[in-house]
Amino acid sequence: LSDGPLKGKHILVTSGPTHEPIDPVRYIANRSSGQQGSAIAAALRDLGARVTFVTGPATTPPPPGVTVVAVETAREMLAAVEAALPADAAVFAAAVADWRVKSEAGQKMKKQAGAPLPVLEFTENPDILATISRHAQRPALVVGFAAETETVIAHAQAKRARKGCDWIVANDVSPATGIMGGGENAVHLISDGGVEDWPRLPKPEVARRLADRIAQELA
Ligand code: C5P
């Protein structure tokens, strides 16, 4: 562990997508690459934090020097996060599936000539950020993300209140921005104090700025 301003602090980071099973061979997923989450974990590590990195099946590898907990589903991610508490801060960068299939088929669903098409019924996944924001062992600083495609700041401010977190890192993930899966991010940091607009930056640089802010806050 480096001797930085976060030495002695334990920080939890969630990252990547979740996979929600349909049957033993099929799942529902999303386009999260895990790049921003991995970069945040690396930046916190570089400031000396002990980082627990709870990641769904992301295409970006986890950074070295952090404790990696690999999960697939939202329910597994929640369990892993709760098991990692207490923490001084938590950053929820994962793109958790909002819904999962209500009853996962025990066997591969078969295509049969003439049979009706399958219909998937969904149920809501646990909201990990909201759960931890109201947890008995709530970290002193809870940071959520808000990936939006319209009315980014208003939606993110409402999300901050609804989820009960301290900060929201809001970004526009409209396809035209190239942010989802791309190497850059343009974020707004929303806190009690208002809204800060950060310039469009490489994801590692967004991560370093966020880690610096977290270090200031925990100091
Ligand atoms: O509601 P929405 O998915 O837009 O909220 C995004 C924020 O909430 C992110 O920080 C994400 O990691 C977190 N989240 C979560 N569990 C969920 C859904 C979202 O932790 N089930």
7 annotated as belonging to a binding site for a ligand: no
110 annotated as belonging to a binding site for a ligand: no
Mean pLDDT score, 71-93: 98
Instruction: Please tell me the pTM assigned to this model.
Output: 0.95
172 — pLDDT class (breaks 50, 70, 90): confident
Cβ of residue 128 lying under 6 Å from some atom of ligand 1: yes
Q: How far is the CA of 59 from the centre of ligand 1 (A)?
A: 19
User: In the prediction, which pLDDT does 176 show?
Assistant: 86
Domains and CATH numbers, the chain: 10-108+116-218 (3.40.50.10300)
Counting every residue written for the chain, the total comes to 219
Cα separation, 105 vs 203, in Å, equals 38
Asked about 30 being catalytic, the answer comes back as yes
Cβ of residue 18 lying under 6 Å from some atom of ligand 1: no
Instruction: Give the three-class secondary structure for 196.
Output: strand
User: In the prediction, which pLDDT does 199 show?
Assistant: 93
126 annotated as belonging to a binding site for a ligand: yes
Cα separation, 105 vs 32, in Å, equals 25
Per-residue pLDDT of 131-160, as tens digits, reads 999 999 999 999 999 988 899 999 999 999
The Cβ of residue 214 has, within 10 Å, a number of other Cβ atoms equal to: 25
> Which residues contact residue 216 at a Cβ distance below 8 angstroms, ignoring those fewer than 6 apart?
none
Tell me what ipTM this predicted complex has: 0.97
Per-residue pLDDT of 35-49, as tens digits, reads 999 999 999 999 999
180 — pLDDT class (breaks 50, 70, 90): confident
